[in-house]
Structure 1
Amino acid sequence: MTGGGTTTAGDPVPLDVDKLYAARLHAARVRPYLATALFALRPVASRQVPTMAVDRYWRCYVSPAFVARTPLEELAGVWVHEVSHLLRDHHGRSDRVARARGLSGCGERLRMNIAADCEINDDVFGDGLVMPAGAVQPASLGLAPGELMEDYLRQFGLGPRTQDLVWLDCGSGADGLARGWDLGPEGAHGLSEQERDLVRHRVAEGITGHPGSVPRGWRRWAEQAFHPPQPWRDLLGAAVRSAAVASGIGSDHTYGRPSRRSVGLPGVVLPSLRRRPPSVCVIVDTSGSVSDAELGSVLLEVAAISRAVCGRRDLVSVLPCDAAARVVHPLCRAEEIPLIGGGGTDLRAGFARALRVRPRPDVVVALTDGQTPWPSTRPSARTVVGLFPRHRASWSEEVDRVPTRPPAWARVVTIGPT
C-alpha cells in the first residue's frame, strides 16, 4: 500500500488502511471470481482524488477522507466498480471511440465515464454487494439495462439528467484521459501489459467455470475475452494454406510439360515441377471429453478445411479417434461421416494411422480439446491443431488443471463461436 497508514500532506485525515483492506476482502468474498483482479490493484493514497479512481496501469488512487466517511459495505462496492473499469478495458475502448467519432474534451470524457458506469452498474450490485451512494444506473438516464458503453454513448448527452454527475471521476482507467494524480507508465506500483492480460485471463477463467452464479454482463465479458480476434475458420484455413505451401508440400514432377532447362541439354527431356493442392487428413477427437455439440460442429470445420484446399473433397479424408484410431473416411458428404468413439483420448494412435494412409497426406489437421498425449517427435507431415477451448473450472488454484498446449511443431488455432 503506497502511503498506507500515513497522513497525506495538506490532508488532516489519515488513511484508514484496515478499513480499506477489510472492504476489499469483503468484495472478494461476495465476488470470488473477481478476487484475482481485486488483489492485483495497487492502492495509492491521494488527496486529489474525490473518491476512488484507477489508471490503466492498475493503480487505485484513494481519498483518505472518502474512506473515512463511507460505510465498509459501500466501500466494497466501490472496489468492485473500479476494478470493473479495468477488466472491461474502458480506457482503451474510450480512446478508440474518441478517435472513431471525433470526440474530444473533458465533457466527452465525462460522458464516456458515465456510459462506462452504466455498463457496469446495471447488474453488478446485490447478492451481498451494496450499491454505493450516487452510483449511476441506466434507468436514471432513461436508458435500458444490459447494453455496452459504446451503445449508451449514442443515447444521451450532457444536460439536466447529468448535471448532478459532474463530480464523477473514476480516473483515466475509466475514460482514457490522463489525470494530474496519475503516476504514469514509469511510475511505481503499476502492472505491465503482460501482467494486466494475465489478470483478465484468470478472471475470465473463473467466470466461465461458474457461469450460473455470475451476472449476465460478466458472462458476456468473459465470453468475449476468450474469442479470437478473427473468425477462427479463416485462421484455420490460413494455417492449412500456410502448411500446404511449404517446401516439398503438394509438389510433383511431370513430363507432360518438360522443364525449360531441357533447352540447354540437347536430347535430354527433364521433367518440370508441378504444384498440386495438398492432401489433408483430419483427425477428429471423438473421446468422451468432447461434447456432442463440438462433434456436431466438426462437420462445419471439415467443410472449412475442404474450402482451404480449393474445394477438392477428394484430397480430404477424416479419421475419428479416441484411444484408438478408427477407419479413414474419404470426404464425399461430410454429414455421412460416422464420428464413432466416446472412450479415452490418445491421438498418438490417430497420427500413426494418418501417416500410414496412401498416398500419405501432406497436412494433418487434429480437431481436439487437447486432453491427449501427443507424439514425442514431429510427424513427417505438416500439422495444424484446431483446439476446442478448455478453461479452468474455478477461480481456485486446486481445481482441474487446464490441458497443456500442443507441441511447438503444431500450428494451433483455437476453435471459437462463429
Structure 2
Amino acid sequence: MSHETGTHTRSETRTDTGAGVAAGAGADADQPGKLDLDKLFAARLHAVRVRPFMATALFALHVVESRQVPTMAVDRHWRCYVSPAFVARTPVEELAGVWVHEVSHLLRDHHGRGDRVARARGLTGPGERLRMNIAADCEINDDVFGDGLVPPEDIVRPGSLGLHEGELMEDYLGQFRLGPYTQGMVWLDCGSGADGLERGWDLGPDGSHGLSAQERDAVRFRVAQGIKGHPGHSPKGWQRWAEEAFHPPQPWRELLGAAVRSATTGSGAGEDYTYGRPSRRSAGVPGAVLPSLRRRPPRVAVIIDTSGSVSDAELGSALHEVAAISRALGGRRDLITVLPCDAASEIVHPLCRAAGIPLVGGGGTDLRTGFARVLRKGPRPDVIVVLTDGQTPWPDARPPCRTVVGLFDRSAGPYDEDNPDYVPDSPPAWARVVSIG
C-alpha cells in the first residue's frame, strides 16, 4: 500500500526561519527568498480557468508570505500563508491544485467541523489534529484533481489508507489511527483552516485582511450558486455540498418531537377530581382532605396525507413519525388516532401498531376534510399533527386545539410537472411548521 501524503511532499518539511509578513504587489521574485507573486497568481488564474465555480473563493483568499509554513496553509479567516521556497520549486500546474485544495478546506468549514468533532469526541493534542487534517484531505482530494488540475506527486487519498471514497471527514476519523501507514504524513499541515487549531503563524481574528463570518458565508453562497447554475461542470461531491449550502440539513426529527411535546404539555384545565394527590388548599381546612383536579392526558390526532403526490418512502417515514409521537407521549397509544386523508378522509384508526395502519388514498389532496373528521369524531383531540407535502387547501378558521405540520421536502423540483409555476399555499400562521427533509 502506498504512503500518500497531503497536497505537498515530505521534502517540503524544511521551513525557513523568520517571521511571516504580508506579501505586497511589489515583491521581487529575483531576490533570494522573496515570494514569486507572479508565479503564485498565475497558478491561481489557472485554477480559476479549470474550476470557474470556485473563482469567488479563490480571489477571496488573502496571501500572506510566511517562512514558518511548510508549503501553503489557510486559517479560518481566509488568509493563505505561503512559503516562498515552496512556490519557487513547484510547477504552476501543481500550485493551481494546491490553491483549490486549500480553499476547499475553508469552503467545507473543516475548521468549524474540526472544533465540533474535537469537543464531541474528546480529541485533544496535535496528534488528533493531524488525524483531522488527514481525514479532511481524504474528504476533498478524491474529487479535487483531474480535469485540468495536476495532482502533486504525493497526495492523501482514501485509498492510501484502505478507505472508501466519497465519505466525510467525520466518517474517516473513526476508520484509521496514526501508525505505519501515516508515518509519511507527520509533516502535513494545511493550517488552522483544516482542523480548527491555531498555529504560531496565524494572524488571528484581529489581524489584517481577514473575512468576517458574514463575508465567509457570502463567499460560500456565491460558490454554491455557481455550482447549482452549472451542475455539469462540477464533481458530484461539490454538487452535494452546494445543495446543503442552500438548504442546510435540519434535525427535523428532534424539531418535530419538540413541537409535539410543546403542544401536548401545555397547561389545561382538569376534568376530574382525585384524592391520590390532595389539594394544596387542604392546609386551609384543618381536619379535612380536599381532592385536587386531575389533568386529562392530551389526545393527539395524526392526519397523514395519502395523495398521489406523496411517495411510498414518505408514507413509510410518516409511520415512523407516528411511532415517535407515541414515544413522546410516554407510550400511551390509546391517546393517539391516525387518519389517512387525500381528497376525502378515510377511517380514523386507533394506534395499536403504526406498521398495521392502512394508508389508503392516492387521489388529490384536501386536508380540510381530515381536520373536519378528527374534530367531529369524539373525543376531540388536544393536538393535531399533519404530515403532508403541503399541496392542499387549509381550513379557513383556526382549529380549537394546537396544530403541528410536518412538511415533506419539495425543494428538488416543481410541485406540478404540468404547471412548473404552481406553488402551494404555505401552512397557516396558527400552525407550528417543521420541514421534514
TM norm. shorter chain > 0.5 = yes
Deviations 1:134-185 (A, max 9, x none): 3223444x533436441355153687534xx63x432211122323443422
Indicate if the aligned counterparts of 1:97 and 1:103 stay in contact, CA closer than 8 A. no
Aligned to 1:253: 271
The Cα of 1:244 is off from its aligned counterpart by 1.1
Q: 1:262 to 1:56 in 2, by over 3 A?
A: same
Name the structure 2 match of 1:384: 404
Match of 1:86 in 2: 106
Q: Which residue of 2 aligns with 1:312?
A: 332
The residue identity in structure 2 corresponding to 1:336 is: I
**Corresponding letter in the other structure for 1:136:** V
Check 1:349–1:120 CA distance in 2 against 1; reply closer, same or farther (3 A cut).
same
**Amino acid corresponding to residue 34 of structure 2 in structure 1:** D
Q: Given the alignment, which residue of 54, 57, 62 partners 1:39?
A: 57
For residue 174 of structure 1, the aligned residue among 175, 194, 200 is 194
Match of 1:290 in 2: 310
Quote how far apart the aligned CAs of 1:101 are: 5.5
Which residue of structure 2 aligns with residue 118 of structure 1? 138
2:320 to 300, 308, 318: 300
Q: Which amino acid aligns with 1:192?
A: A
Query: 1:279 corresponds to which letter in structure 2?
Result: R
In structure 2, C-alpha distance between the alignment counterparts of 1:392 and 1:68, rounded to whole Å? 46
Counterpart of 1:199, as a letter, is: R
CA distance in 2, matches of 1:171, 1:68: 20
Q: Secondary structure at the match of 1:367?
A: strand
User: Which residue identity lines up with residue 360 of structure 2 in the other structure?
Assistant: L
- Structure 1 distance, partners of 2:372, 2:399, is 9
Larger-gyration structure (1/2) = 2
Give the corresponding residue for 1:13.
36
Query: Does 2:358 match 1:340?
Result: no
Among candidates 366, 370, 382, match of residue 386 of structure 2: 366
Pairwise CA distance, 1:301:
1.8
State the alpha-carbon separation in 1 of the partners of residues 51 and 205 from structure 2: 27
| Whole-angstrom distance in 1 between the partners of 2:173 and 2:144 | 18
Rounded Cα–Cα distance in structure 2 between residues aligned with 1:88 and 1:409: 37
Equivalent residues of 1:20, 1:67 under 8 A apart: no
Counterparts in 2 of 1:14 and 1:238: CA distance versus 1, 3 Å: closer
How far apart are the structure 2 equivalents of 1:210 and 1:18? 27
Matches of 2:267 and 2:183 in 1, distance apart?
Answer: 68
Aligned to 2:177: 154
- CA distance, structure 1, for counterparts of residue 400 and residue 386 of structure 2: 14
Q: 1:339 to 1:55 in 2, by over 3 A?
A: farther
CA deviation map 1:76-119 (0-9, x unaligned): 533432233234443244445666556424x6544542342233
Provide closer, same or farther for how the CA distance between residues 82 and 378 of structure 1 changes in structure 2, counting only shifts above 3 A: farther
Name the SS for the 2:34 alignment partner: coil
Are 1:143 and 2:162 counterparts?
yes
User: Is the contact made by 2:305 and 2:341 (CA closer than 8 Å) also made in structure 1?
Assistant: yes
Query: CA–CA distance in 2 between the matches of 1:407 and 1:137?
Result: 50
Aligned residues with identical type, % of pairs? 57
Output the amino acid matched with 1:331: P
Aligned length: 393
Q: d(CA) in 2 for partners of 1:348 and 1:11? A: 73
* Equivalence for 2:76: 56
- Asked if 2 retains the 8 angstrom alpha-carbon contact of 1:321 and 1:341, the reply is no
Matching residue of 1:327: 346
Q: In the alignment, what sits opposite 1:239? A: 259
- Which residue is 2:298 aligned to? 278
Which consecutive unaligned segments of at least 5 residues does structure 2 have?
Answer: 1-21, 415-419
Matched position secondary structure for 2:61: strand
Coordinate RMSD, CA, aligned: 4.9
Aligned partner of 2:65: which letter? R
Unaligned runs of 5+ in 1: none
1:383 aligned counterpart, secondary structure: strand
| Contact 1:118–1:137, Cα closer than 8 Å, also in 2 | yes
Q: What's the TM-score, normalizing by structure 2?
A: 0.68
1:19–1:410: structure 2 CA closer, same or farther, 3 Å change rule? farther
Cα distance, 1:279 vs. partner? 1.3
